[in-house]
Amino acid sequence: MKVVLAICGTRGYYGLPKYFYFLAKHLIRRGIEVEVIVDSPLGAYKLYEVVEPQKYPEGSLPISSTIIRPTTGGVLNIVTTPMFCRNVAKYLNRVDFDILHTCHIIPYFYLKQRIRKPVIFQPFGNELFYMGGIKKLFHPVLEFCGKKADLVVAEREVLVYETARLYGISKDKIFVLPVGIDSEYIKEKAEGTREGLGIGPDTFVILSVNSLHPWKGISDLVRAFRYVEDRIPDSFLIIIGSGPEELNIRRLVKKLRLGEKVAFGKDIPEDKLYKYYKVADVFVSPTYQKDFIMGILEAEVFGLPIVSTGQDWLINGNGFVVEHGGVGLANGILGVHERDRKAMGEISKTIVKDYEFEKIADDTIQKYKELLG
């Protein structure tokens, strides 16, 4: 069986490409031939960061990565994204494979063809349906992909009904496949100390890892930190990510006079990222999204308490689900500081076990087999 995983946005290291990189790794471990289509050379490099540690004999990797131009740059660009999707369809007509597993609007042109291979469409949440402006132009394209694909993925049971309604499809066409985590790889790569990062042993470290888009709520977190810092003077905020809101967030940090208490990390390689989780005391996800946030799972591998404005299925005794905005986030962070963080962390480690890629890869392969009959 040969599976093609097609993804875009690989110039950044967002949750979506990371998901497919780790899925590729675990499919390969189970004997599945995999080809990964990416939209930039950097995406190919990051794919190999994840797959290489498997240390195959003689240094050979049973995977191919194909770079399809133009790069979409990690966002739904009105020009480059359709061109990328069209070029993916043209490429797929020239290669042999059994299943295409892809996301967002990538399969649109391929699904328009009369003769094609089975397609699994994974939209990764339904937020794009609720966005206005120029992104609203993609709504009918997404709906077409959902209707024409052979199977559609939802990341949670509670999203099945909403997904069926938005795409106008039967619930029987949807199967649940959670966002996954590769804790083995993460623990392998977690090298670093507070001393090495210039952080004091008693400093209360708040960490957030996500792309810097308006709906991620990072500005809310900065405002919350202004309140927290007044009550916990020896505190420090680390923001890891990149995106169009970066300049506005930096301006807000300066306006609130938090410059020395906030650190930014951008374009951090996968093998350098996890040391920040290792030195943190709490992970905060201020997002306005309803779907999975991979950073929460990564934080739970390290036994961190969680404060989030959603994702309640990942928080049960290991932190707080709070209202959007600075006040709710600040109260959640202060609540973690006042409680037994070690006990909360142990609960986090238990929760994350249900989202290991070992299980997700097995479930995915079972669906592949059912689809191929």
pLDDT in tens, 202-211: 999 999 998 8
- Could you identify the residue written with the tokens 């938005």? 166
Task: Give the H/E segment covering residue 228.
Answer: helix 218-231
Query: Between 4 and 51, whose confidence is greater?
Result: 4
The rounded distance, in Å, linking the Cα atoms of 336 and 281 is 9
Q: pLDDT confidence of 250, banded at 50, 70, 90? A: very high
The rounded distance, in Å, linking the Cα atoms of 27 and 49 is 16
Residue 58 pLDDT: 46
Residues 98 and 170 in one domain: yes
Residues 294 and 345 in one domain: yes
Reply yes or no on whether the pLDDT at 146 is more than 70.
Answer: yes
Residues in CB range of 23: below 8 A, 6 or more apart = 5, 180, 357, 360, 361, 364
Reply yes or no on whether the pLDDT at 61 is more than 80.
Answer: no
Query: Between 160 and 70, whose confidence is greater?
Result: 160
Task: Give the H/E segment covering residue 143.
Answer: helix 139-148
198: alpha, beta or left, given left = phi > 0 and alpha = psi -120 to 50? left
The rounded distance, in Å, linking the Cα atoms of 220 and 320 is 16
User: Are 110 and 92 spatial neighbours (Cβ–Cβ below 8 Å)?
Assistant: yes
Instruction: State the CATH number of the domain containing residue 251.
Output: 3.40.50.2000
User: DSSP letters along 232-279, please?
Assistant: -SSEEEEEE--STTHHHHHHHHHHTT-GGGEEEE-S--HHHHHHHHHH
The rounded distance, in Å, linking the Cα atoms of 240 and 294 is 13
Residues 142 and 236 in one domain: no
Residues 329 and 360 in one domain: no
Whole-number mean pLDDT of the chain? 89
Residue 141 pLDDT: 92
Residues 129 and 267 in one domain: no
Mean pLDDT over 236-244 rounds to: 92
The rounded distance, in Å, linking the Cα atoms of 26 and 319 is 30
Structural domain range at position 361? 2-180+356-372
User: Are 114 and 139 spatial neighbours (Cβ–Cβ below 8 Å)?
Assistant: no
Edge to edge, the sheet with strand 99-103 lists 63-67, 33-38, 2-6, 99-103, 119-122, 151-154, 174-176
Mean pLDDT over 277-306 rounds to: 91
Q: pLDDT confidence of 41, banded at 50, 70, 90? A: confident
Mean pLDDT over 208-237 rounds to: 94
Q: pLDDT confidence of 185, banded at 50, 70, 90? A: confident
pLDDT digits (tens, 9 = 90+) for 105-135: 999 999 999 999 999 999 887 777 776 776 6
Residue 289 pLDDT: 78
pLDDT digits (tens, 9 = 90+) for 2-40: 999 999 888 776 778 889 999 999 999 899 999 999 988
Reply yes or no on whether the pLDDT at 76 is more than 60.
Answer: no
Reply yes or no on whether the pLDDT at 44 is more than 90.
Answer: no
Residues 232 and 338 in one domain: yes
Q: pLDDT confidence of 74, banded at 50, 70, 90? A: low
pLDDT digits (tens, 9 = 90+) for 154-169: 988 888 999 999 999 9
Residue 174 pLDDT: 96
pTM of the model: 0.82
Mean pLDDT over 219-232 rounds to: 96
Residues 166 and 266 in one domain: no
| Phi, psi of 198, deg, nearest 5 | 75, 30
Q: pLDDT confidence of 327, banded at 50, 70, 90? A: very high
Residues 111 and 188 in one domain: no
Instruction: Domain count for the chain, please give it.
Output: 2
Query: Between 142 and 70, whose confidence is greater?
Result: 142
The rounded distance, in Å, linking the Cα atoms of 179 and 186 is 15
Residues 220 and 102 in one domain: no
Residues 228 and 349 in one domain: yes
Residues 268 and 218 in one domain: yes
Residue 78 pLDDT: 73
Q: pLDDT confidence of 57, banded at 50, 70, 90? A: very low
Residues 123 and 268 in one domain: no
